[in-house]
Amino acid sequence: MKRSTRSRAAGLVALSMAASMALVACGGGGDDNSADGGGAKTAFNEGIDKIINASDKKGGTLRFVHSSDLDSMDPGNMYYAHAWNFSRLYARPLLTFKSAPGKAEIVPDLATALGEHSADLKTWTYHLKPGLKYGDGTPVTAKDVKYAVARSNYAPDVLNKGPTYFNLYLDNPNGYKGPYKDKNLDHFKGITTPDDQTVVFHLNVPFAELDNLVSIPQTAPVPQAKDTGDSYQQHVVSTGPYKLDNYEPGKSANFSRNPNWDAASDPNRKQLADKIVYEAGVAADEVDNRLLNGQADVDTPGSGVQAAARAKVLTNPDLKSRLDDPLTTFIWYIPLNMTLKPLDNVHCRRAVEYGVDKTLFQAAYGGPTGGDIASTAMPPTIAGGDKFDLYPTPCNKGDVNKAKQELQQCGQPNGFSTKFSFRADRPKEKAVAQAAQQSLARVGIKLDLVSYPSNTYTSAQIGSPSFMKKNGIGMGTYGWGADFPTGFGYLSQVFDGAAIKQTGNSNISQLDDPAVNGLFNKVVQEPDENKRAQLYGEINHKVMEQAAIVPEIYVKSLLYRPANVTNVYVTEGYDMYDYAVLGVK
């Protein structure tokens, strides 16, 4: 999943100071997670494994705010983690994450049970719970689930913001082109619906983790007659506890209770608040101010408070007692464009690995409470993500001599120039870009910084291989989190050559390595979970051997929970608070 972030800008002098303050004897101290100076016992981090303010009280308005906007309100056309989390308020896929703190668990949602699979793992069957209805009272059918997958995976010219797992793994013998070009859903052979309650997935290869795939919002049903393509996001038909009353992209949305939601069929959501209001485009500082003064309840991106609020909440014992700082399944990293000279040479990429000062990256994201310095392609919070460092440098500050040795080997002894992109409205990313520019200049690598809007960055700029080639973009800021907490859920969309797309591409490095691709083909056919974890570990190593990315930090999110919000806890499924159960006092 794509990761969102926001923060106030910081100059490189400030970054250097923050980095030096955070590092004592090469990273041995400076822990913002300690108790306050007075030694008072607080509830810091209690929301990681405990429900805070557990309550079934109904009433009131739950207020979400966002410094930007969801990538889409359409469950079939979204990819940011917070959007998937938010969609649970009004959309139900076949399976979902159990609503509980602790380890993420996939459980039935619209389906009666986890998938029934054939011995060869190529046919998976799900049965819908009886009596399911949309917000308008019409029944949910198996064909609606089939249609939802067809529109979200086979129509990239209309919907291209989400992943395309199903396009990769569903059987498509007749080259089905999607419902906007072929309205006859019978021509889509990858899914069949023997009756109104049964959905059968037919795969082109054995796939052991299909239960994880059908937990993403793309299996939330859509009636074909009510689909209007990209504008469907403004009148999404609800299956969750709330229904969308109106949505004005970039501004606001309002939700009210769905009278046809069946609580008995949905133990993983609550319908507590009378209304939910969502406001987009709120300035980043103002978001935190509203949370702290009681004028807002949830920071929608779930990426934590920014620099100004961070200093305030960490030094105030009462405010600190309302903080959680979980280590997530996200990594901030710099993808290196392997198709652009001279970064098509592995030694030039390794020169970048050795040349960067990662302490500046950590400082840009808030120091130790923002994350731990990273060295691998997969986070250690996922099975198979063992820590190692193929490019160690003293105190993580870079090694100029080793970087220059690698430049010699790639035929660029005097360094080279390339462009480095970042999102214009994300000051943390600008600070990272400046830090990379400063540290790589020491070895002769010159970066020309370019910025683009967030709402097009991952679809039309860094997510477009042709745009990157045409504009000479060799590096950029990027972050990734697991679509579901397994190695496949993290690695496949960003490192499998088969996942490279012409728009909305997440394999920014354009890594298309036969050895890596072969491991992906092998791991999906492995039924044993422990053996899959070992294979994910091999992929992790090979990606770093190729120096496809420069890992920055394993992300933490310093989350603030207002005292009036109920049922607050961190869900491992999205690495933020679980939006599906929240209420207000």
Q: The domain that contains 433 carries what CATH number? A: 3.10.105.10
Q: Count Cα neighbours of 510 within 13 Å in the Cβ-side half-sphere.
A: 20
Residue 527 and residue 437 in one domain: yes
Strands 446-452 and 298-299: unpaired
Residue 476 and residue 357 in one domain: yes
Round to the nearest angstrom and report the end-to-end CA distance of the chain.
Answer: 32
Q: 87 phi and psi, to 5 degrees? A: -65, -20
Residue 331 and residue 209 in one domain: no
532: in domain: yes
**For the CA atoms of 121, 123, 129, 133, what is the dihedral angle to 10 degrees?**
130
Residue 438 and residue 550 in one domain: yes
47: in domain: no
Average pLDDT over residues 254-265: 98
259: in domain: no
- Chain mean pLDDT for the chain: 92
Q: How far apart are CA 497 and CA 491, in angstroms?
A: 11
Share of the chain above pLDDT 70, in %: 93
- What pLDDT is recorded for position 41? 39
Q: If pLDDT is split at 50, 70 and 90, which confidence band does 407 have?
A: very high
In which element (H, E) is residue 540 found? helix 529-545
Q: The domain that contains 202 carries what CATH number? A: 3.40.190.10
- What pLDDT is recorded for position 458? 87
Residue 20 and residue 96 in one domain: no
Q: How far apart are CA 208 and CA 526, in angstroms?
A: 6
148: in domain: yes
- What pLDDT is recorded for position 13? 36
Residue 478 and residue 331 in one domain: yes
75: in domain: no
Average pLDDT over residues 178-203: 98
195 burial via Cβ count (<10 Å: 0-12, 13-18, 19+):
exposed
Residue 527 and residue 389 in one domain: yes
Residue 335 and residue 207 in one domain: no
- Answer whether residue 436 shows pLDDT above 90: yes
Q: If pLDDT is split at 50, 70 and 90, which confidence band does 32 have?
A: very low
571: in domain: no
Residue 398 and residue 498 in one domain: yes
- Answer whether residue 29 shows pLDDT above 80: no
| Contact indicator for 452, 32 with CB cutoff of 8 Å | no
Structurally, the chain folds into a number of domains equal to: 2
Q: If pLDDT is split at 50, 70 and 90, which confidence band does 482 have?
A: very high
Residue matched to tokens 């990379």 = 436
Note the pTM of the prediction, 2 decimals: 0.87
Helix, strand, or coil here: 214?
coil
* Greatest C-alpha distance within the chain: 69
- What pLDDT is recorded for position 303? 87
Amino acid identity, position 288: D
> Range of 220's domain?
89-226
| Contact indicator for 296, 511 with CB cutoff of 8 Å | no
Q: If pLDDT is split at 50, 70 and 90, which confidence band does 2 have?
A: low
Q: How far apart are CA 522 and CA 178, in angstroms?
A: 28
Strands 565-566 and 327-335: unpaired
In which element (H, E) is residue 475 found? strand 473-476
Residue matched to tokens 């999943």 = 1
- Answer whether residue 418 shows pLDDT above 70: yes
Give me the helix-helix angle, 12-22 and 427-441, nearest 10°. Answer: 90
- What pLDDT is recorded for position 1? 64
Average pLDDT over residues 290-305: 96
- What pLDDT is recorded for position 33? 42
Last residue of a domain, one of 173, 196, 226: 226
7-27 in b/e burial notation, b at 16+ Cβ within 10 A? beebebeebbebbeebbeeeb
Residue 539 and residue 458 in one domain: yes
Residue 20 and residue 117 in one domain: no
Average pLDDT over residues 62-77: 95
φ/ψ region of 384 (left if φ > 0, alpha if ψ in -120 to 50, else beta) reads left
- Answer whether residue 42 shows pLDDT above 70: no
261: in domain: no
